[in-house]
Structures are given as structure tokens and as C-alpha cells.
Amino acid sequence: MSLKKWKILQSEFVINNQWCQVRQDKVELPNGTIIDDYFVNIRPEIALVLPITPQNEIVFVRQYRHGVQEILLELPAGAFNPEKEASITAAKRELEEETGYIAQELILMKTIYDNPVKDDNKIHIFLGLNVQRTGQINLDVTEEIEVFLVPIKDVIDKIMSGEICVAGTIATIFMGLEFMKQFQSRFV
């Protein structure tokens, strides 16, 4: 059996403004079934950074997230348009704007899909090395952020206890820890 893509028969925006875009597709499945109301969220690309200080601490941000109405501990990240800005530029910008930290080196570890069932965007995951607080915080109007440092040795416990519970942050931490293990000679 070979998998086949769905055929888009018709597509229109049902919400189309600067803060939210939702597309309604009429699709034909490979078995011939037609679904006339499959909704797709059009979302911006995300640059997400795992910033590590020379003291082996990870720089986190704590902020309110209205979608879940919770204050969450997560890694610095932000949206960007890949037609106007490179992912590495967005990662540098977001790290400094949210935390005041600047990375001496940023390494793109991987680009992954956020939620491919209903969202069309990707997350560009970076490892930030030797980050130091030498920049300027410049928050958006919707941001109120507390910068929070966690020793690398304590981060897994924070995930397991539920204190760190944002999927992209967790994926980035595990990817970063494995990346650093695989290239250990580079990080000693």
C-alpha cells in the first residue's frame, strides 16, 4: 500500500486578519470520500532557542499564555516570516528581545512541524552557546516576561514534575541535550 496525498478541490479563508488566519478546504481523500469543511490554521514560522550560559544554565522565560490561561516556563521563541527574515536572524532577535541575552554561536539543530494535523507552520530549533546578558530586552505589547535560569542538571526534573510543560520547549531540550552528547568534543 502506498500513501497518497489528499486532493484540494476548493480552498477559501474563513478568517483572514493579521492575528489569525483559518483556511477551509474541500478535499478529496484517496478513497474518494469528500470532506468539505477541513480547517487549517495558517501560522507563522517559529524560531526557538535553547540558550546555554557558560555556567551551564539554560535561559528560560516565564510568561502568561492566554490560550491556556496559564503562566508557563518555556524557552525564548517567536514568530517570523521566512520571506522577510532568515530563521537564524529571527532566533537572534527573539533571544535578545525576550531575555537580553546574546549567543556567541547559534546552531540550527532541526526544523520540525508544530502540529501538522491542523497547522501549516514549522519550528526552527536552535542551540545558543555561550549566551551572555549583554543585549537589550524589547518586549511586544502582549509580553510580560520574567527571565529564569535553570542549571542543565535540573531541567529534566522540571520536565518530569510538570513545571516545564510546553511541547516545543520539551522537544528542544531533549534534542539539545542529545546534540551536545553527540558532539561532546565540541562543547568541552
d(CA 99, CA 113): 25
Q: What is the pLDDT along the chain (188 residues), one digit of tens a residue?
A: 799 999 999 999 999 998 899 999 999 999 999 999 999 999 999 999 999 999 999 999 999 999 999 999 999 999 999 999 999 999 999 999 999 999 999 999 999 998 999 999 999 999 999 999 998 998 888 889 999 999 999 999 999 999 999 999 999 999 999 998 887 655 54
Buried b (16+ CB within 10 A) or exposed e, 157-181: ebeeeeebebebbbebbebbbebbe
CATH number of 45-187: 3.90.79.10
Cβ atoms of residues 168 and 83 within 8 Å: no
